[in-house]
């Protein structure tokens, strides 16, 4: 459940466990604690077309060949904690896609900001002229 209207059904999630890298002693060689979670984006319920497009854009680097979202987690030594971490990553990604980006409205710079810019350019020019040798500038 991501929000009141959007949810990821269990049928859209495919979980696979494998051996994690990193610390863990002998446990790391025996127990499959790394979680590889794949989510079918088309099966997520309650998303509008615009939200689905935003989700695809956000997840574009994490899609596999079948168009499923791939999330991995190996931060913990327990498979259950890694599974919960991977699910929370999916929840955050879907929740981010629900936020509509603000539309940018073009504005003009104010007179004061334009004057401030020109003053800054003049001061930089003076500083550069002072660095030059006396005979070099005209």
**41 has which bridge partners?**
none
**CATH number of the domain where residue 83 is located:** 3.30.160.20
Tell me, yes or no, whether 28 lies in a domain.
Answer: yes
Q: How many domains does the chain have?
A: 1
**103 in any annotated domain:** no
Predicted confidence at residue 26, as pLDDT, reads 74
Q: Give the per-residue pLDDT at 84.
A: 94
Q: What is the DSSP letter of 63?
A: B
Query: Which pLDDT value is given to residue 50?
Result: 93
Supply the range of the domain harboring residue 52. Answer: 10-98
Name residues of the chain where pLDDT drops below 50: none
In a domain, 94, yes or no: yes
User: What is the model's pLDDT at position 27?
Assistant: 72
List Cα–Cα distances, 65 to 40, 47, 113, in angstroms: 12, 22, 50
pLDDT of residue 20: 82
> What confidence score (pLDDT) does residue 125 get?
95
Please report the pLDDT score of residue 138 as a whole number. Answer: 59
Beta strands 34-40 and 13-18 are antiparallel
pLDDT value at position 24? 67
């Amino acid at each position: 459940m991501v929000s009141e209207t959007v949810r990821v059904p269990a049928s859209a999630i495919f979980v696979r466990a494998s051996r994690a890298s990193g610390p863990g002693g002998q446990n790391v060689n025996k127990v499959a604690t790394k979680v590889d979670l794949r989510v079918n984006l088309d099966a997520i319920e309650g998303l509008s077309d615009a939200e689905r497009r935003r989700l695809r854009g956000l997840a574009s680097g994490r899609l596999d060949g079948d168009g499923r979202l791939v999330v991995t987690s190996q931060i913990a030594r327990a498979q259950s904690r890694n599974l919960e971490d991977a699910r929370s990553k999916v929840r955050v990604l879907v929740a981010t896609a629900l936020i509509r980006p603000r539309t940018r409205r073009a504005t003009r710079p104010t007179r004061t900001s334009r004057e401030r810019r020109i003053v800054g350019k003049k001061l930089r020019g003076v500083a550069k002229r002072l660095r030059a040798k006396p005979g070099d500038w005209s």
